Amino acid sequence: MNNNNAVAEPVRSAVDQTEQTRKAKKATRAAVFGTFVEYYDFSVYGYVAATLALVFFPSDNATTGLLNTFLVFGSAFLVRPLGAIAFGWLGDKVGRRFSLIASITLMGIAATLIGLLPGYAQIGVWAPILLVVLRMLQGFSAGGEIGGAASYIREWAPPKRRALYISFLPSIAQFGKGLAAAIAGLAAATLTDPEMLAWGWRIPFLLALPLGIIGLYMRLSIEDSPEFASKKNHTEVKQGQPFAELLRDYRKPLLKVIMIAMVQNIGTYIGTVFIAAYFSSILGYSKGQASTIVLVAVILAAFLIPLAGQLGSYRGGKSILRYAYVAYAVLSIPSFMLMQQGSVNLAMAGLALGMIPYALCQAGTYSVMPEFFPMHIRHTGVAFGHSVGAVIGGGSGPFLATWLIGATGNQSTPAFILCASGLLGLIVISTVRRNPPAATDDANTHQFS
């Protein structure tokens, strides 16, 4: 009898482990695909900005209309921290699953309504006003998405493979941006200018509806993480106020997360957003050449990020960030020197070189951020810290690069900014300390402070 029990226990344990792994992979797929959809929805606005300027901000000065359109684009960043607080509260008090369902629903509805919105010619000043409202709703949703997804995957993934599982978030997000660029580019290439102005710009936005339905279906089919489910009735979850506790008891970890996210977003918005305008406006490449170079680099990054995540599973997220920051400091100037040679192939090689620190930083950032906070405030801490970092780094990086190039005439200025951000990252990561090991390795354990 005892022998039978001894045999049955390892078998039961193996079955339980297999089932846990299956659920972890399913949860990761749902979180990752939802992030893909959200990044598609959020990014498509920028790729049809020139047309939106004519539809919603008609002006005798085309530049004025475009600037107004990009001001609306930027308004989405301003409300991201508010979205982080709201969705963080939902994630930490009600459940990660509920928050992820709510965020993808709001993003999909906002994107679809933009696609249905009448233009200035139909409803006058109400058109740009409603566009601002819907764009801010998108930013509000984005504020809770990536932090919630990273926290959710962290709590499902096997401890030794967390960095790999989480790395699929920024990897697949690249494909979301790529699909948005491809759909917008295909519409512009196949339709005439009058058709694009009349209805063609709506196509990329309306595609958000079927994509959102698929993502919502996937998220409805998942469960909350076992750790959250087992602790959601604890006093600290039921009675706690996540944002107040974050500001009261975790100010130093929060500041470190903001700085880490700021460095990541400087690299993101200089290396994948500003760089397209840099190629065409500063270096003289055609818009077609610039788009091709950036698209190839983004796709390369999408494949490099999981490799960086796999490395992080062995070396740890903190080590990956250290490698990323050193790579930014060392590789950024050679990368931009290659771009400045006037050759498309060399420019492509230069930007590909720049994708090495970018991929390391993406994988390391998302795997490290959840480790600064205990389970009952993790969603709020990650979402709010990342959103504030995105506002500072995403907003200042491209603007600062553009202003400094104009002020100094030095085309390598963006490389210097990336070098400086890498050095800043090294200073921040040197202050990160690993907490003493806990008795159990569960979702309530926060490794860093």
Rounded to the nearest integer, the mean pLDDT of the chain is 85
Structure-model confidence comparison of residues 445 and 284, the more confident one: 284
On whether the pTM is more than 0.75, the answer is yes
Question: Stretch 304-325: mean pLDDT, rounded?
Answer: 93
- CATH code: domain 19-430 is 1.20.1250.20
Q: What is the pLDDT of residues 142-164, one digit of tens each?
A: 888 888 899 899 888 888 888 89
With contact defined as beta carbons under 8 Å apart, do 151 and 382 qualify? yes
Q: What is the mean pLDDT of residues 400-405?
A: 80
What are 158-203's pLDDT values in tens digits? 888 888 999 999 999 888 888 887 888 788 778 888 888 889 989 9
Could you report the per-residue pLDDT of 47-102, keeping only the tens digit for each?
A: 777 788 788 887 665 556 656 666 676 677 788 899 999 999 999 998 889 999 99
Q: What is the pLDDT of residue 325?
A: 97
- Residues in Cβ contact with 443 at an 8 Å cutoff, skipping those fewer than 6 apart: 154, 155, 225, 227, 228, 231, 375, 378
Task: Compute the distance between CA of residue 152 and CA of residue 171 in angstroms, rounded to an integer.
Answer: 17
Q: How far apart are CA 276 and CA 289, in angstroms?
A: 9
Rounded to 10 deg, the angle between the 378-408 and 242-249 helix axes is: 60
Q: Please write the tens of the pLDDT for every residue from 28-61.
A: 999 999 889 888 887 787 777 778 878 888 766 5
Q: Is the pLDDT of residue 439 over 50?
A: no
Q: Which of 259, 417, 264 is nearest to 336 (CA)?
A: 417
pLDDT at 214 over 90: yes
Which run of H or E residues covers position 215? helix 208-220
Q: What is the pLDDT of residue 233?
A: 66
Q: What is the pLDDT of residue 11?
A: 44
Task: Name the residue ranges covered by the structural domains of the chain.
Answer: 19-430
